[in-house]
Structure 1
Amino acid sequence: MKLTYFFPLVLFLLMYGFGFSATPSISKANLPNWIRQSSNQPKALDLADISDGYYYERIEYQVNLAEQTRFYRDVKVLTEHAGAEHAGQVTIVFDPQYQQLIMHELFVVRGGKHLDRLDLGKFEMIASESELSRSIYNGTYAAYFLLEDLRKDDKIVLSYSLRGFNPVFDNRFADTYFLQGYEPFGLLHVNYVVPKTRSLKFKTFKGAPTAEQQDLGHAVSYYWDIAGTDHVETEANMPIWYPTRQRIECSEFSKWSDVAKWAGNVNPIPPLVAGGKLYQFSERLWQESKHDSVVYAQKVTDFVQNDIRYMGVEVGEYSHRANNPEKVFAQRYGDCKDKSVLLATMLRHKGIDATLILANTYEEYGLDQYLPSPFAFNHMVVRLSIDGRRQYIDPTIMNQGGSFSERYFPFYGKVLEVKAGGVLQDTEKVLSGTTRVEEKFKLRRDGGAQLDVVTIYSGSNADDIRTYFKQTAKNTIDKSYLEYYQGFYKGLVRQTPLTYQDDPVRNIFRVEEHYNMHSFSEIEVGTNRRSISVYATNLSSYLPTISDGRLTPIALRYPLSLEHDIYIINPDGIPVSPMKENEFMDRESYYYGKNIVTINDTLKIAFRLGFHDTYVKAEEVAAYQSDFADKERFFSSAVYLDDDGLVSGSTTAHETNGWSVFGFVVLLGLFTWLVVTYYHPRRASTLIPVYDEMRYDRIGGWLVLLLIALCATAIRVFYEGMLRLFFTQQMWDTLDYNVGVHPWLYAGIFMTMFVGNTVIFFLSVYAAYLLVKRRDIFPQTLFFLLMFQLAVVLADVVLTYTIFREQQAEADDYSEIVRAISFALIWSLYLFHSTRVKGTFLVQSDQVAQAEALVAPALPSIPVSVFESTDNTSHGGGSEHDVQRDN
């Protein structure tokens, strides 16, 4: 009811204030004598391309710059009776502030006869105000006429002129016209009559033909006379700026600096009136800011953004001219240019450099390809500079929080400085906001669950949600949040009312919800297994659905950074069986990911989605389609439950898998038999050279540390790899519940890691035994163990990232890699370079020693006197061998 009474009142007051108490009138006249006649005949169209029961046989648009007149003519042909409903309504929109509507023709052609229907008395003048939904009053009217007695195959001929150009452009002209539509035309005739004293530049886009010219003596006619135009197919979710239709542009502004100069003349930044109310208010803010320019700029911005409500009166010249700042301050409302000029005026009052900026909220890309023209822009903002630091401010954004220097400014592509010599500038794509959703499903043994939801908005997302909460009734918000979850989970009821906390200083907005679900699980069709399904559809809703074979870019709702974490928690701290799924993809325009891990009694399912740009390029559409071919499946997850109603595997958390223990023992026995039979009796290889004679008859030096390291490796592998993982039943349960990887591939990797850990354990124990016995095959055995252990660790990491598509290694992964590489490098270098190793490990196997004893020749006996002589010459000092042995 409030809106019902409010808008008519506003319209009445505005119309009265601007002198529109009288209804605009229309007149009638013959066809202008300056219009050009087409030399072509309309082309027959394929009716299969026609909708709404009618088509345009002819469309004419002609402009006379000297007469400031636009001439329109169209001929519509009814192909079906239903066409009368759409084609029979004549609506002509114009601005009576500077335009006169002159009717020329309105008749129906039926059976070769012209039936005149032009009766000015039957036209109704209606305030159209098509932009009221945007709080913009533009003062336009619509001349409305409803044709009677229309039949199939009738032709409706309408022609009229709009005389008068908006004076705000200082008698300079600019225009845009599309040469194609989304349905074909039988004939299109466009004509610009330009006096030779004026220079109007033309530019064509999307392969449009260039203009033909005709010298009229005092003027030149630039025209397009096209018999039959092709229709253009359109696709949903295309960027607004992406060109699909041929168009022409013309402008008397030769360069962008001309547009900047014009805009500066139309919207000067005036000094404040000394002693006026705005002057006094600005002085008060300056005192409150303690003469700090940054603090003052923030206070002024807050005032203009939040206390000057957005509402524009864009009548006549005020479509591009701002109201005086004193007036805007007094009335407490204004559109983008009103608010921008007010902001810049207040900033300049205290010596802060402030520049008006023209922007286009739709043309994120390609605006620099336009002809310079005021119509290239539809928005105005401010750029300020304090101590050499520039910052853009959009005064139409409300309730911005956080540090002033980090306030969000939308990506508007190219913008134009409103100053002498102003040029196009680039704005940056800034991702300043994140939305994080945490849903915790706390399972109960009765089959129900408690759902606690925390949603944290930061940056620009906090700005948006803050405005939503301030402008929307609390009960409405509470109901919408409840209905959202009830759409996914049956039997969900609110436990406590929704609560929120706003921290504008840090710019964080936190919303909490609490619900109860009496029954959470359901029986899966086909398997008859009990399961629960969780969803992150708030992510998938941001991804446009596209058709196969699409060739055009896809618009994205930039900026976007969403995190959605779902926790399914078992009661009583009962552990969850290990599960693993990880997928992450980072494309040029977007990224997404899904990760499933278990943390004690909790199954965590994390989703990520974000956009790097405002659109997906045409050449990346195929990848987008492949990535999100089944987005609803990707952004949801089904989890199986055990008979006890808990997350699958929870009942086996403390059970031992007997077959894994048996397999471990069997493998150890097999390895022992193979080593004892084929390897242990062998002679050492020449891989690591040793001395000919033994110099050390006991283990010492760094070998003691190596022995400890081997024992520690065996203990760690047995405890962490076997006891805590492979010997547990819940680890083997992952073969049934792992998702995202082919079962056979996952099982192969699983068994390979099991055998690899068993080999490392066996070799560590065996190498420790060889070290103690000082066997000659120890160095080569240890070297093989080091290389095998390094290969197993690297294979585990590589396979994990490749198979499960993990993109970021965890701290434990880095630690394991560094430990394996360091262990292998240090001890390998020690094996090859240590004299202790080369002089210690010379003990051969009994079989090798016996074989060499049988083939060795008998040594001659040495007289005792020789030893006595040796002892005497050495003065009782002992042999070199004895000295080395003691060392």
Structure 2
Amino acid sequence: MRTSLFILFLLSFHFVFSQNQIKKSPTPNWVNSISFEDKDVNSENGGFQYLLLDYQDNFPEEASYKHIAIKLLNSNGIQSNSDVSVVFDPSYQKIYFHSLQIIRNGEVIDKLNLNNFQIIQRETSLDRSLYDGSLTAYVNLTDVRENDIIEYSYTTKGFNPIYDGKVSGTVYHQYAIPVNHIYTRLLTDKHDHFDFKLYSDASNPEIKEYSGIREYVWNVNALDFKLYENNSPPWIDIHKKVSFTTIRNWEEVVNWALPLYTYPKESVKEIARSIPQKKDTKATITSYIRFVQNKIRYLGFEDGINAFRPHSPEKVFNQRFGDCKDKSLLLVSLLRNIGVEAYPCLINSYLKDSIFSELPSVNAFNHCIVNFNYEGKTYFVDPTISDQEGDLDNLSVPDYGYGLLIKSNETTLKAIAPTPNPSVKVKEIITLDSINGNATFWVTTTYTGSKADATRSYFNSSSRESIKQDYTEFYRYLYPRIETANIVDIIEDDSIKNTVVVRESYTINKIWEDGTSGNTIYCDIYPIVLEPYIEYTKATNRKIPYYLGDPFTYEQTTEINMPETWNGDNMEISVDGKYMKYSNTTNCKGSKITVTHDYALLQSTVPGDSIETFLNHIEEIKNELHYYLTYDPDRAKFKVSWISVLLVLLSVGLTTSLSVFLYNRYNPAPQEPDTNKAIGGWMVLPLIGLCLTPFLLLFQIFSQDFFNHNIWVGVYNAETELPSTFLFVLGGELIYNVFQLTFSIFLMVLFFKKRTSLPHLISIFYIIILVGAVGDFLALKFLLPDLYAQSDPEESFKLILRAFVGAVIWVPYFQISERVKETFTKTSKNKTRELSTVQNQTI
């Protein structure tokens, strides 16, 4: 009870003290009085419109004056502007209200009553575990009506003492909403250094000097508002603005920060003794990094000077929490304690490389990391990232661009070398138990770099049951009848390479879906993990770059084990762009289908004039993501194709007739004395090939289902430019194969009978095989370009090469070989002509 009362007493004292920080006073004498006009108001621009934004800063007196007038156009404007609030830090600031009134139809209604003000501590950065100690003084205005003008003015006295007299800031002369009048006035000591920089065509100021003061005044109309486009990079600022600073260069920022990052070295030795030491320096460095990242909680109290000055390493270690500055200084102190050169490094996580366009300022940074050097190499590490792994060679740090080392004599920003792009590799195995049945679904995903860090953090912060539920719901979009995951867990976590491997296992009930016509069923194989990585908002005719996110690579292999042999096309598709690359392959072999998807985001932004091309490439990719297994029970039943039978009979009949004719009528005279030599020597090789040819051709004809009526129907309905041409080529291939088969049998007969016609006819046969292979390739390429694009040209080239080599070797052999001439000497009369008889007849 006493403890509760004590806490209430402290809170009461705090808010009473804060209440005393808000006072009522006349407008300071140094302020220029600025009036406003109620005109150029357009209700189409929203529920309210600013008539005046009057900002005047007096740096020598550490005072900032604000004077604002807002016209409320409808109920939405009343809802969002009936509260007047001021944020301040009670440790060094006081608020003086000069006016708070409502102007209604020219009548002024005074609303300034300090008793109506309330003090609250909102902590707008609480979601990032940061407490800045700032308070908000606000008053809720009563009796606010449409077309009222709310006008108020106040002065904030006191600058953060940590600045040590250094001043910097930014004032905007354009917003995403129209503003009738923006008045900006800066008063500086004329002897002080003061720089300003204009952005986005902001106007130059009027400059005056008087009584030791230099005055800068901007008096602008800001009705020409600008809206940000979707996916604008965080470092892009499209509005007119003016930045100013009293700091000459980055070295001056370093010299300002150096005293803030000092610490008692003796205390660090005690801290180091509390952390287990490793056997070598490299391992100890990694151990210190992991200790600060994982054992020191990220939490910051950044009120007043604590917004810039880190707490001592000893305090951070003992309390086991700290913000980015605290954690960075602790890690720096530990590394220095073992002789490693290390420094805090200030960075801006939003500006990245664009920080070079900023003026030197103590407010230019919003984050702190660590730089250290070891064995001739420079490393950067972010001590605020928990659940990170990897040795020094595999440290992952976000793309921060450039940073400022808090190091003596440091004069410029230092480049932070980017780490290798993270990757996601997915291996899926889908095994179907039957057509129109169920399936088992295994997924193995390997993450590297920052993707591994994020996955590890997710598993460390979530229960296994909630993870299973999340994963199952994710896949349920694709497979509605999927059962809750059997397994979802990390099966490998490599602390050296910083890789995480996650294994998943599911059962999918009735993976097949009913088609839209007849009894057709289908199964959709889709890379659902890739989908969110390529979702981008539509955008055309942009003027500023389009932000895509950090570059990464994605690879997916899906193996589908079918319950039976599956006929499918092998395909390869690629989409190559300047900012991304994608490829998709499909391979069908027996009952196994393999589908791959490879995607790489190469850059984080796309110029505005290139976004349409990029998004068109993304649409091309999306059109190729689905792979459908389609099954029609009616078409699956075998039906004899009478067209095939007719073509076979026609080809057999014509080839047989030709063979009979050649057998009886074509009897070349022997070229050498008939020694009646037996078949032997090199000619055995073509004979073996000739004997195998009928069997190979029969296998080819029946394996390609030429006699299945459904195949011909499928060809006719195929998505090609000319289905009739496809049928013509298919029929021609059947006729050609049957011709080869029949004619090869005829050649076998001639071969074994050692007929004189064999050398010439088999040479013609080899030439026909070569011409047929070339013709098949040309027909595919020029008559069926769609099918050619999906085929593997290498197989055609191999076939042509084999036919060419066979013709080159065996055609000359059968034409000039003496052994051939002495073996094939018989004619249709089945007798051998003796050389002597021929000579006698000649004489």
Q: State the TM-score, normalized to the length of structure 2.
A: 0.81
Report the Cα distance in structure 1 between the residues aligned to 2:783 and 2:417, rounded to whole angstroms: 42
Alignment partner for residue 718 of structure 1, among 697, 702, 705?
A: 697
Q: Is 1:409 equivalent to 2:397 in the alignment?
A: yes
2:125 — aligned with what?
131
Structure 2: where are the runs of 5+ without partners? 823-839
Alignment CA distance shift 1:758-1:273 (3 Å):
farther
Deviation at 1:384, TM superposition (A): 2.4
1:562 — aligned with what?
554
2:831 — aligned with what?
none
Instruction: Please show how residues 707-746 of structure 1 align to structure 2 within 5 Å.
Output: 707=686, 711=690, 718=697, 722-725=701-704, 727=706, 729=708, 732=711, 735=714, 742-745=719-722
Alignment partner for residue 330 of structure 1, among 292, 304, 318?
A: 318
Alignment partner for residue 530 of structure 2, among 535, 539, 551?
A: 539
Alignment CA distance shift 1:839-1:787 (3 Å):
same
Q: Is 1:77 equivalent to 2:71 in the alignment?
A: yes
Report the Cα distance in structure 2 between the residues aligned to 1:803 and 1:259, rounded to whole angstroms: 66
Deviation at 1:232, TM superposition (A): 1.5
Report the Cα distance in structure 1 between the residues aligned to 2:127 and 2:34, rounded to whole angstroms: 40
Report the Cα distance in structure 2 between the residues aligned to 1:254 and 1:675, rounded to whole angstroms: 100
1:32-62 CA deviation, whole Å, 9 max, x = no partner? 333345598676033212x2x2111111222
Q: Is 1:477 equivalent to 2:461 in the alignment?
A: no
1:133-165 CA deviation, whole Å, 9 max, x = no partner? 000111111111101111111110111222222
Report the Cα distance in structure 1 between the residues aligned to 2:211 and 2:734, rounded to whole angstroms: 95
Q: Is 1:172 equivalent to 2:151 in the alignment?
A: no
1:585 — aligned with what?
575
Report the Cα distance in structure 2 between the residues aligned to 1:794 and 1:507, rounded to whole angstroms: 51
Q: Tell me the secondary structure at the aligned position of residue 23 of structure 1.
A: helix
1:108 — aligned with what?
102
Q: Is 1:46 equivalent to 2:30 in the alignment?
A: no
Alignment CA distance shift 1:791-1:227 (3 Å):
same
Q: Is 1:372 equivalent to 2:353 in the alignment?
A: no
Residue 31 of structure 1 aligns with an amino acid whose one-letter code is: T
Q: Is 1:31 equivalent to 2:31 in the alignment?
A: no
Deviation at 1:271, TM superposition (A): 6.3
Alignment CA distance shift 1:429-1:736 (3 Å):
farther
Alignment partner for residue 590 of structure 2, among 583, 589, 600?
A: 600
Q: Which moved more, 1:294-303 or 1:19-28?
A: 19-28
Alignment CA distance shift 1:116-1:561 (3 Å):
same
Report the Cα distance in structure 2 between the residues aligned to 1:12 and 1:265, rounded to whole angstroms: 35
Report the Cα distance in structure 1 between the residues aligned to 2:371 and 2:712, rounded to whole angstroms: 61
Q: Tell me the secondary structure at the aligned position of residue 306 of structure 2.
A: helix
Report the Cα distance in structure 2 between the residues aligned to 1:115 and 1:161, rounded to whole angstroms: 21
1:620 — aligned with what?
610
Deviation at 1:397, TM superposition (A): 1.5
Deviation at 1:210, TM superposition (A): 3.2
Report the Cα distance in structure 2 between the residues aligned to 1:312 and 1:20, rounded to whole angstroms: 22
Q: Tell me the secondary structure at the aligned position of residue 366 of structure 1.
A: helix
2:833 — aligned with what?
none
Deviation at 1:794, TM superposition (A): 8.4
Deviation at 1:548, TM superposition (A): 5.4
Alignment CA distance shift 1:578-1:199 (3 Å):
same
- Aligned partners of 2:436 and 2:511 also within 8 Å: no
Residue 352 of structure 1 aligns with an amino acid whose one-letter code is: V
- Aligned partners of 2:575 and 2:620 also within 8 Å: no
Residue 466 of structure 1 aligns with an amino acid whose one-letter code is: R
Report the Cα distance in structure 2 between the residues aligned to 1:775 and 1:21, rounded to whole angstroms: 116
Report the Cα distance in structure 1 between the residues aligned to 2:783 and 2:452, rounded to whole angstroms: 40
Instruction: Please show how residues 178-197 of structure 1 align to structure 2 within 5 Å.
Output: 178-197=172-191
Q: Tell me the secondary structure at the aligned position of residue 538 of structure 1.
A: coil
- Aligned partners of 2:208 and 2:214 also within 8 Å: yes
Alignment CA distance shift 1:118-1:274 (3 Å):
closer
Residue 121 of structure 1 aligns with an amino acid whose one-letter code is: N
Q: Tell me the secondary structure at the aligned position of residue 217 of structure 2.
A: strand
1:362-389 CA deviation, whole Å, 9 max, x = no partner? 2345332222333332222222222112
1:397 — aligned with what?
385
Report the Cα distance in structure 2 between the residues aligned to 1:105 and 1:624, rounded to whole angstroms: 53
Q: Tell me the secondary structure at the aligned position of residue 408 of structure 1.
A: coil
Report the Cα distance in structure 2 between the residues aligned to 1:206 and 1:23, rounded to whole angstroms: 40
Instruction: Please show how residues 358-369 of structure 1 align to structure 2 within 5 Å.
Output: 358-369=346-357
1:242 — aligned with what?
236
1:503 — aligned with what?
493
- Aligned partners of 1:543 and 1:556 also within 8 Å: no
Report the Cα distance in structure 2 between the residues aligned to 1:696 and 1:339, rounded to whole angstroms: 102
1:595-640 CA deviation, whole Å, 9 max, x = no partner? 4443433444444444222233323321233234487765444433
Q: Is 1:223 equivalent to 2:223 in the alignment?
A: no
1:147 — aligned with what?
141
Q: Is 1:387 equivalent to 2:382 in the alignment?
A: no
Q: Tell me the secondary structure at the aligned position of residue 185 of structure 2.
A: strand
Report the Cα distance in structure 1 between the residues aligned to 2:313 and 2:783, rounded to whole angstroms: 66
Alignment CA distance shift 1:719-1:526 (3 Å):
closer
Alignment partner for residue 278 of structure 1, among 271, 277, 301?
A: 271
Report the Cα distance in structure 1 between the residues aligned to 2:183 and 2:690, rounded to whole angstroms: 92
Deviation at 1:734, TM superposition (A): 9.7
Deviation at 1:778, TM superposition (A): 8.3
Report the Cα distance in structure 1 between the residues aligned to 2:119 and 2:30, rounded to whole angstroms: 28
Q: Tell me the secondary structure at the aligned position of residue 533 of structure 2.
A: coil
Q: Tell me the secondary structure at the aligned position of residue 489 of structure 1.
A: coil
- Aligned partners of 1:794 and 1:817 also within 8 Å: no
Report the Cα distance in structure 1 between the residues aligned to 2:478 and 2:316, rounded to whole angstroms: 48
| Paired positions, count | 803
- Aligned partners of 2:253 and 2:361 also within 8 Å: yes
Report the Cα distance in structure 1 between the residues aligned to 2:695 and 2:350, rounded to whole angstroms: 61
Alignment CA distance shift 1:109-1:667 (3 Å):
farther
Q: Which moved more, 1:207-216 or 1:126-135?
A: 207-216
- Aligned partners of 1:717 and 1:761 also within 8 Å: no
- Aligned-residue CA RMSD (Å): 4.7
Deviation at 1:110, TM superposition (A): 1.1
- Aligned partners of 1:202 and 1:251 also within 8 Å: yes
Alignment partner for residue 249 of structure 2, among 233, 244, 255?
A: 255
Report the Cα distance in structure 1 between the residues aligned to 2:7 and 2:584, rounded to whole angstroms: 56
Alignment CA distance shift 1:116-1:524 (3 Å):
same
Deviation at 1:333, TM superposition (A): 0.9
Identity score, percent = 24
Q: Tell me the secondary structure at the aligned position of residue 494 of structure 1.
A: coil
Report the Cα distance in structure 1 between the residues aligned to 2:474 and 2:779, rounded to whole angstroms: 45
Q: State the TM-score, normalized to the length of structure 1.
A: 0.78
Q: Tell me the secondary structure at the aligned position of residue 290 of structure 2.
A: helix
Report the Cα distance in structure 1 between the residues aligned to 2:598 and 2:119, rounded to whole angstroms: 53
Q: Tell me the secondary structure at the aligned position of residue 156 of structure 2.
A: strand
